């Protein structure tokens, strides 16, 4: 069996790698190729292009890379013609993946979308492409199958969000967490995003907010969680430059770390984070968080008419309430970030309300086993499409939510 997988972001690369492992458990001699990143390579896929290195967002960035995208579409089409994979699996990353789906369907190859883009939130008209080019949508969120069905997509099933699988299997560095806890002072985790452009746009606001909060609460420590070492170096430059412009404000007690996001989320008291799937991890730890997503004014003007969802944050969408205050903005909202963090840190009742709401949502929404269910559905479709859309009866059919050591609200962030 040959399977082509296309993932274009670090999170998608991880989800794709885990799916490869799940599929190989079921089909040991399966071969994997496609577009992705280092996680897919580690899982045994033979990459035709490191698409994760080209992770882009917003309209102008796409146009700037149009020649590369066209080349990748042609390369994928040649693969479909010459190597004839049994299936094509797309992981998030709309735009390029629509074209890959189009070429796969033209070659008569089944197409599966794992972690589909949030069309219900924006660009809802693109559901036509799902109807035309995708055989089976493997939905991450429980309301998505009904949304697709109402718009004529015949085959969409809820498998759950693979992020919960990764959280369940994750090991933390206890030496690091113990050292952080030994400080005995409140810790605010800053999560500036996994993309370089996100880091450049959001971190200056987050650093200004840190300086402003330090003026009011000098006891608070700050820790910036970067994806990797290159981002850590870039973050150091951004922090230094931003603090130079914060005249009249104290320099916050701030450290910058690479590849320590899970540990910092575990030990933090509150957080400021860029919007993304990391919000699910923040929910799992019942960590009161403000969500920021800074864009250019022109991008916001272009995007606003297409945004249909009430919220931009997965946690808020799952709760249908703003459990995490969120700001999709082109403005400096550092004062708002400070206001929320100061309230949680200074008011135990406000902190308890925030953690309790997140813990309650965690209990109802965190369902592990998405990757295994997705693998079962894909293989079932290749045997018999009717079997793939039947009620799930696999080993991970239970809807019981994930269980953490911090399951009790009082223990989560006491």
- Name the pLDDT band for 93 (thresholds 50, 70, 90): confident
pLDDT digits 0-9 by tens, 157-167: 999 999 998 88
pLDDT at 396 over 70: no
Predicted local confidence at residue 289, as pLDDT: 98
Q: Are residues 236 and 346 in the same domain?
A: yes
Q: Are residues 355 and 376 in the same domain?
A: no
134-137 own/partner pairs: CB under 8 Å, 24+ apart: 134/90, 134/101, 135/110, 135/111, 135/381, 135/385, 136/110, 136/111, 136/112, 136/377, 136/378, 136/381, 136/385, 136/388, 136/389, 137/112, 137/113
Q: Are residues 198 and 242 in the same domain?
A: yes
Q: Are residues 380 and 309 in the same domain?
A: no
Predicted local confidence at residue 95, as pLDDT: 83
pLDDT digits 0-9 by tens, 37-65: 999 999 999 999 999 887 544 444 555 56
Would you say 99 and 73 are in contact if contact means Cβ atoms under 8 Å apart? yes
Predicted local confidence at residue 380, as pLDDT: 96
User: For residue 394, is it within any domain?
Assistant: no
Predicted local confidence at residue 398, as pLDDT: 46
User: For residue 400, is it within any domain?
Assistant: no
Tell me, what CATH number does 283's domain have?
A: 3.40.50.2000
pLDDT at 403 over 60: no
Q: 3-class SS at 46?
A: strand
**What does the alpha-carbon distance between residue 414 and residue 404 come to, in Å, rounded to a whole number?**
15
Q: Are residues 179 and 136 in the same domain?
A: no
| Residue-wise burial string across 109-131, b where 16 or more C-beta atoms lie within 10 A, e elsewhere | bbbbbbbbbbbbbbbeeebebbe
- In the sheet that holds 270-274, the strands lie side by side as 253-258, 221-226, 187-191, 270-274, 289-294, 326-329
State which of 15-29, 302-316, 393-407 shows the largest mean pLDDT: 15-29
pLDDT at 352 over 90: yes
Domain that holds residue 351: 171-364
User: For residue 412, is it within any domain?
Assistant: no
Q: 3-class SS at 7?
A: strand
Predicted local confidence at residue 302, as pLDDT: 80
- Name the pLDDT band for 399 (thresholds 50, 70, 90): very low
Domain count, the chain: 2
In this structure, of 215-224, 247-256, 328-337, 395-404, the range with the lowest mean pLDDT score is: 395-404
pLDDT at 284 over 80: yes
Predicted local confidence at residue 133, as pLDDT: 97
pLDDT at 136 over 90: yes
Of residues 62 and 118, more confidence is placed in 118
Q: Are residues 235 and 289 in the same domain?
A: yes
Mean pLDDT for the chain overall: 90
Predicted local confidence at residue 61, as pLDDT: 52
């Amino acid at each position: 069996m040959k399977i082509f997988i296309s993932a274009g972001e670090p999170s998608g690369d991880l989800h794709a790698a885990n799916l490869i492992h799940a599929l190989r458990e079921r089909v040991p001699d399966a071969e994997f190729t496609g577009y992705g990143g280092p996680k897919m390579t580690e899982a045994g896929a033979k990459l035709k292009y490191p698409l994760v290195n080209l992770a882009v967002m917003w309209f102008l960035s796409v146009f700037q890379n149009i020649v590369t995208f066209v080349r990748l579409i042609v390369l994928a089409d040649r693969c479909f013609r010459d190597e004839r994979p049994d299936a094509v699996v797309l992981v998030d990353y709309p735009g390029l993946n629509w074209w890959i789906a189009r070429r796969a369907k033209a070659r008569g190859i089944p197409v599966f979308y794992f972690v589909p883009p949030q069309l219900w939130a924006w660009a809802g008209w693109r559901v036509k492409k799902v109807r035309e080019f995708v055989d089976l949508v493997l939905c991450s969120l429980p309301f998505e199958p009904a949304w697709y069905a109402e718009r004529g997509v015949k085959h969409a099933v809820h498998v759950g969000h693979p992020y919960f699988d990764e959280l369940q299997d994750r090991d933390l560095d206890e030496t690091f967490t113990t050292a952080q806890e030994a400080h005995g002072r409140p810790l605010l985790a800053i999560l500036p995003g996994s993309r370089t452009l996100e880091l450049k746009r959001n971190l200056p606001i987050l650093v200004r907010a840190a300086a402003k909060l330090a003026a009011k609460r000098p006891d608070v420590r700050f820790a910036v969680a970067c994806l990797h070492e290159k981002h850590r170096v870039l973050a150091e430059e951004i922090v230094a430059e931003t603090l130079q412009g914060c005249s009249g404000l104290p320099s916050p007690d701030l450290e910058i770390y690479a590849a320590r996001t899970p540990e910092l989320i575990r030990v933090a008291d509150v957080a400021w984070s860029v919007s993304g799937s990391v919000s699910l991890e923040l929910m799992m730890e019942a960590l009161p968080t403000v969500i920021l997503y800074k864009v250019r004014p022109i991008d916001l003007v272009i995007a606003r008419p297409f945004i249909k969802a009430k919220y931009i944050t997965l946690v808020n969408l799952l709760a249908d309430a703003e459990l995490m205050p969120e700001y999709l903005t082109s403005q400096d909202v550092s004062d708002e970030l400070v206001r929320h963090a100061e309230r949680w840190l200074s008011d135990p009742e406000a902190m308890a309300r925030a953690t309790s709401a997140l813990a309650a949502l965690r209990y109802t929404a965190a369902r592990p086993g998405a990757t295994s269910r997705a693998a079962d559905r894909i293989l079932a479709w290749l045997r018999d499409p009717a079997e793939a859309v039947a009620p799930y009866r696999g080993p991970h059919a239970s809807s019981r939510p994930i269980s953490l050591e911090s399951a009790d609200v009082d223990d989560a962030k006491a």
